[in-house]
Chains A and B, each alone.
Chain A
Amino acid sequence: MHDQAISWHAAWPAPRLSARRNPDRFIAITAWLGAIAVTTVFFWIVVDLIRLGGAQLTPAFITNAPTSAGRAGGIGSVLVSTALILGVCLAVSAPLGIATAILLAEFTREGNRYCTAIRRSLDTLAGVPSIVFGLFGYAFFCVYLRMGFSILSGGLTLACMVLPILTRTAEQGLRSVPDEYRYAAAAVGMTRTQTLRQLLLPAAMPGLVAGVVLGVGRALAETAALLYTSGYADRMPSSLADSGRSLSIHIYDLAMNVPGGEPNAYATALVLVGLLIAINATAVWLGERWTHRKLSTA
């Protein structure tokens, strides 16, 4: 019975509401009130999102181009720009992040200086505020590398931003593969390349995908880093060198700079939140599959 889980709720009887000056009762009431307050605000936000954005949300809204600065029309071109920005971001960050994760998880021992340095720099990068990424992206990609306000600049800036979370999640995925796989592979004389390609990467796949999915979620939610890198243009982009606005920037612009843009801002927010929930659900689902597998092989 020592390693059994504990059911905390059953450890004490329900607080007796009749007893006066009872701290248990006081905390119980405060905790319930606090939870009710947070829940109320949550539903306030959700109801506002659906009430103010739901009416505009039609299939035409998804596909049509915005007109009249976004007040009318849809978000077709914005969705395309968003997808392109994410595509650029992933095309760079996923290979880099996963390769770094493999290096950290498989090819180095604890305390290796090179790896400690990489880890530390990733930790630091994780703490940089997004507007600072925007400043950097503007100075480096737009100006120094002469990419201008473009989907490419925006995507690359986001790639820098999501590297830490992507790498760390992928590394955890690889570390969760049982060592037996590695011993078995070494015992039959497989090279490390073969082991990696045929055993470890397939086994760690849910973790790697979870890392990528979390990175996409972070990138999709981002606004400040894109303000001065991918720019504001709401027309359909014709190449990666074109400026293109993401969903989040569209929301910001409609809310702040376009009088009467709020209904469409809310509809866009509804789309964005819907996408994020779908992405998070995927990550959770992958995470669970990954834990299940871990349990079944343990």
Chain B
Amino acid sequence: MTMTPDTLIPTKPVAVTVPPRPDHPPIIRAENLSVRYGDHRAFDQVTWTIARGRITALIGPSGCGKTSFLTCLNRLADLVPRCSVAGTLDIDGMDVLSAATDVIALRRRVGMIFQKPNPFPVSIRRNIALPLLDHRLCDRRTVDDHIERTLRAVGLWGEVKDRLNQSAFCLSGGQQQRLCLARALALKPDILLLDEPCSALDPISSGVVEDLIVSLRGRYTVVIVTHNLAQAKRIADDAAFFWLDGGAGRLIEHGPCRSVFENPAHPLTRAYIHGARG
């Protein structure tokens, strides 16, 4: 938050919408979505669709509602006291915000990785087994196969296969983050929400995790919040720019990554990308 919004906002910001291309059908549709924490508005009136099978990056300064947007998608916002969500949100035909929605089924389909790796305080094996068994995705006889397959998918199998029964906290930060990714992938989700997944990691671990995310393209819909614009540019197909305006976050611009970064339509986007770069 180094720029002063007053001097940069020429007119009321208007979302510049690029219609979804037919070969990228939307999986997430938000309409007039707003989140408030008590009196504080996290973001206001976001109307947007996110395409299936693509990597979408959310960029913008801190406190403009990007993480809050993510936590709407898997109803994790429910956990925050005095948080209220308004508007409509539809994931693959499921009305996410409805009280009747089965949040457990929703959260199986929409996995999430946090900034700080947060493995469960149990063994490596049990970190993966716990959600698998709890969702009844496999039984006790086949669970070890699932664990191996999942850990191979995140390249962790070779590193941990001899110490599956050790506490997950014995792993390095990067390994823990990959374990968390494996835990999410084990549930065979459709959508993965990544909240600055690399920012707490050293550069090498960060690179490993980034490569993993790229490898998910096509098979999963990935929505990633990142402050690292270079990373967003490297890995994302689509990008969306959030900005804090009048005390609430707003979606300023979204579209294919290249157009947002190289030919931003809105002056705020241009200023942010140039400011953050220079």
Contacts and interface: CB of A to CB of B under 8 A. Distances in A.
Interface of A: 1-2, 4-8, 10-13
Nearest to B100: A13
A1 to B, nearest CB: 6
A125 B37 CA distance: 49
Contacts of A1: 67-68, 71, 80
B14 interface: no
Interface residues of B, number: 14
Contact of B115 (A2, A5, A12): A2
B104 interface: yes
A7 B77 CA distance: 10
A1 B102 CA distance: 24
Nearest to B134: A23
A290 B81 CA distance: 25
A-B pairs with lowest CB-CB distance, top 6:
A7-B81, A10-B78, A6-B79, A11-B79, A4-B80, A1-B67
12 contacts: A1-B67, A4-B37, A4-B80, A6-B81, A7-B80, A10-B78, A10-B79, A10-B81, A11-B78, A11-B79, A12-B103, A12-B104
Contacts of B116: 2
Interface in B112-141: 115-116
Contacts of B81: 4-7, 10
Identify which of B67, B79, B104, B116 gathers the most chain A CB atoms within 10 Å of its CB: B79
A176 to B, nearest CB: 26
Contacts of A12: 103-104
Contacts of B115: 2
A6 B81 CA distance: 6
Contacts of A13: 99, 102-103
Contact of A6 (B67, B80, B102): B80
Contacts of A4: 37, 80-81
A82 B71 CA distance: 59
Identify which of A1, A8, A13 gathers the most chain B CB atoms within 10 Å of its CB: A1
Given A1-B68, A2-B115, A7-B78, 17 more contacts: A1-B71, A1-B80, A2-B116, A4-B37, A6-B80, A6-B81, A7-B80, A7-B81, A8-B79, A10-B78, A10-B79, A11-B78, A11-B79, A12-B103, A12-B104, A13-B99, A13-B102
Nearest to B114: A2
B79 to A, nearest CB: 5
Contacts of A2: 115-116
Nearest to B71: A1
B133 to A, nearest CB: 12
Nearest to A24: B104
Nearest to B65: A1
